[in-house]
Amino acid sequence: MTLKQRVDADIKQAMLAKDKARLQALRSIKSQILLAETEKGGDEGISQDTEMKLLTKAAKQRRESAELYAKQGRADLEEVELAELAVIEQYLPKQLDEGDLRARLVEIIQRVGATGPSDMGKVMGVASKELAGQADGRAISQAVGALLNNTDF
C-alpha cells in the first residue's frame, strides 16, 4: 500500500471519528503528495524515497514552527503544530536514538576512511543517504562533526 493510499484510508477514519486535528494533518500530507505528483507530471505516482523526503520535510517544518511558537509564548499554536507532528511521525520510520545514530555513523566513517574534520562532506554524503528518514539532518551533522573532531571512534 502506497503512502497516498494509507493517507486516504486514514483520512476516512479521521472523518468518521470527527478527529479534526488528525484530519488537518492528514490533508496536509495528502496535499504535499499531490503537489509532488503534479510536479513530476506523471500518473504513476512518486517513489518511496520522495515520499520519505516529503514526510521528513513536513515533520521538520512542524518541529521548527512549534519551537518558534514556544519562544513567542503561543502555546495554543504550539499544540496544533505538535499534534500535526505526531501524526506525521506515524508515517516515518522509527527515529534512531543517540547511541544508535553514533554507532551507525562510526561504521560509515570507518567505511569511507574519514580521518578528520576535512572529510565531513564525504561522510555527510553517505550518512544523509543511508539515514534518510531515520534521523534529522541537523542531528547527523552535529554527530559527524563531533566524531570527526574527536577522531577516537
pLDDT value of position 24: 93
Cβ proximity of 126 and 108 under 8 Å = yes
Hey, what's the cell of 67? 519551537
pLDDT at 67 over 90: yes
What pLDDT score does 116 carry? 83
CA 57/CA 51 separation, integer angstroms: 10
Which pTM was predicted? 0.71
High-pLDDT (> 70) share of the chain, %: 95
The answer to whether 81 and 69 are in contact (CB under 8 A) is: yes
HEC readout, 96-151: CCHHHHHHHHHHHHHHHCCCCHHHHHHHHHHHHHHCCCCCCHHHHHHHHHHHHHHC
Q: Hey, what domains does the chain have and what are their CATH numbers?
A: 3-89 (1.10.1510.10), 98-150 (1.10.10.410)
The sign of the dihedral angle between the CA atoms of 103, 104, 110, 114 is negative
For 63, the grid coordinates are 518541529
Q: What is the pLDDT of residues 70-118, one digit of tens each?
A: 999 999 999 999 999 999 989 888 888 888 999 999 999 999 988 888 8
Q: What is the mean pLDDT of the chain?
A: 88
